[in-house]
Amino acid sequence: MKKALIIGFAIAAIFSSCKKDEVDYAALEQKTLDEYLQINYPKATADNDGIYTIEATEGTGISPLPESYVLVNYTVSRISGPLSKNVFDTNNETTARDNRLYSEQIHYTPTIWKANEMIKGIKLALNKMKEGGKAKYILPSNLAYGDKEIGYLPAYSTLIVEIELIKVIDNIDDYESNIILKHIEESPLEFNLTQSGVYLAITKDGEGEKYKNGAIISLTCLGKYLDGKVFNAKSTFELTLGQNQVIPGFEAAVKELKPGSKATVIIPFKMGYGTKGKSPIKGYETLIFELEMPN
C-alpha cells in the first residue's frame, strides 16, 4: 500500500509539472501582436469585430453582400515577430517572386472569392469595403484559423491581409459567360456552344464515328488560360473515356470529336475544376485546351 501511494504521488507530481509547462498560446499570440503593433503601428486599435485597420482607401462602388462573389487582388502574411511578417499567399507576381513563392504554373491575375465562404475575418473585412477600395487589416487568429495548422501556417497565427476589391459580382455564371463571349468575339476561331456546356471550335475535321465511353485514346493536348498563359505544356497522354480520368468539360469535348480531328475547347469553371480549383489552377478558372486526336 505504501509503495502504491508513492507511485500515485509521483504520477500526480508529473501531471502537475506538465500543467505548469503548458503554453498559453493565445496569450503568447496577443503578446507578439502587441509588440508588433507598438513598433509598426502604435496608433492601431481593434474595432468591435476585433479587426485592426492599418490602411484603407475607400472605393466608390458598391459593397459586397454575404452571398456576393468578389474579384480581388490580395496578399496574406503572418506576424512572426515584432519586426517581421511572412508572406504565405498572394496573387501578385512581384510579391510572390520577392518572397520565393513564385511558380510558373500559377495564374497571377485577379482572383474570385465567394464572400460567405471566406474565413470570418475576411468576411468582416469585405463588409467594410467598396468596389475600387484597398485596405490592409490585421486579423487575430480567432478571426482566422484559430488553433488549426493550415499547411505551413502554425496554429494561433495572426494574419495581415491586404485586399484590393476590384469588382463585386452578383451572378458568377453571367460574369464568366460574358468573359467567354468577349474572348470568342476576339478569336479567329468559330466556337459553338455544345449541349454539354463547353465551347468547341473544330479546326480540322476527323473521319469515322465520334468517340464513346470505353474508347482508349492517345491524344495530344495543350492547356492554357483565357489570356493565353500556358499551365500544361503540349503533351500526349492516354485517356479511357467514361472513367472520370479528366475534368467533365475535357471528356465532353473529346466525345464531340472523331479520329484525326483537331479542336480548341473553352471549358467554364463548373465543367473544369469548380469553385475550389486544383493546384496550380485556382477556383473559378475558365480553361482552354487545344486537342489533337490520333488517326
For residues 61 and 168, is the Cβ–Cβ distance under 8 A? yes
Please indicate, yes or no, whether residues 177 and 162 belong to a single structural domain of this protein.
no
More confident position, 12 or 113: 113
204 located within any domain: yes
Cell numbers linked to 102: 513564385
Cell numbers linked to 64: 459586397
pLDDT category of residue 6 using cuts at 50, 70 and 90: very low
Please indicate, yes or no, whether residues 153 and 221 belong to a single structural domain of this protein.
no
In the predicted model, what is the mean pLDDT of residues 76-103? 94
Please indicate, yes or no, whether residues 192 and 211 belong to a single structural domain of this protein.
yes
Out of 169, 198, 218, a domain closes at: 169
7 located within any domain: no
Chain-centroid distance, C-alpha 236: 28
User: Looking at residue 42, which CATH number applies to its domain?
Assistant: 3.10.50.40
From CA 73, how far away is CA 34, in angstroms rounded? 28
Please indicate, yes or no, whether residues 270 and 193 belong to a single structural domain of this protein.
yes
From CA 262, how far away is CA 107, in angstroms rounded? 26
6 located within any domain: no
> Which pLDDT value is given to residue 17?
46
Count: domains in the chain: 2
Please indicate, yes or no, whether residues 32 and 161 belong to a single structural domain of this protein.
yes
pLDDT tens digits, one per residue of 193-248: 999 999 999 999 999 999 999 999 999 999 999 999 999 999 999 999 999 999 99
For residues 268 and 286, is the Cβ–Cβ distance under 8 A? yes
DSSP 194-206: -TTS-EEEEEE--
Residue 22 pLDDT > 90 = no
4 located within any domain: no
Please indicate, yes or no, whether residues 102 and 185 belong to a single structural domain of this protein.
no
Q: Which runs of consecutive H residues, i.e. helices, occur in 187-294?
A: 248-254
Out of 115, 135, 169, a domain closes at: 169
State the DSSP H helix or E strand holding residue 122, giving kind and residue range, or none if neither: helix 120-127
From CA 197, how far away is CA 284, in angstroms rounded? 15
Q: Phi, psi at residue 182, to the nearest 5°?
A: -65, -40
pLDDT category of residue 21 using cuts at 50, 70 and 90: low
10 located within any domain: no
101 located within any domain: yes
Please indicate, yes or no, whether residues 164 and 183 belong to a single structural domain of this protein.
no
Residue 23 pLDDT > 70 = yes
Residue 179 pLDDT > 80 = yes
2 located within any domain: no
Residue 20 pLDDT > 50 = no
Please indicate, yes or no, whether residues 54 and 139 belong to a single structural domain of this protein.
yes
From CA 47, how far away is CA 169, in angstroms rounded? 27
Please indicate, yes or no, whether residues 38 and 133 belong to a single structural domain of this protein.
yes
In the predicted model, what is the mean pLDDT of residues 158-175? 97
15 located within any domain: no
> What region does 32 belong to: left with phi over 0, alpha with psi -120 to 50, or beta?
alpha
Please indicate, yes or no, whether residues 130 and 182 belong to a single structural domain of this protein.
no
Report CA-CA distances (Å) from 238 to 144, 218, 219, 221, 294. 43, 4, 6, 11, 11
Please indicate, yes or no, whether residues 52 and 119 belong to a single structural domain of this protein.
yes
- Above pLDDT 70, what percent of the chain? 93
For residues 263 and 201, is the Cβ–Cβ distance under 8 A? yes
Out of 169, 202, 222, a domain closes at: 169
Range of 212's domain? Answer: 173-292
Please indicate, yes or no, whether residues 196 and 281 belong to a single structural domain of this protein.
yes
From CA 123, how far away is CA 126, in angstroms rounded? 5
Specify the pTM. 0.87
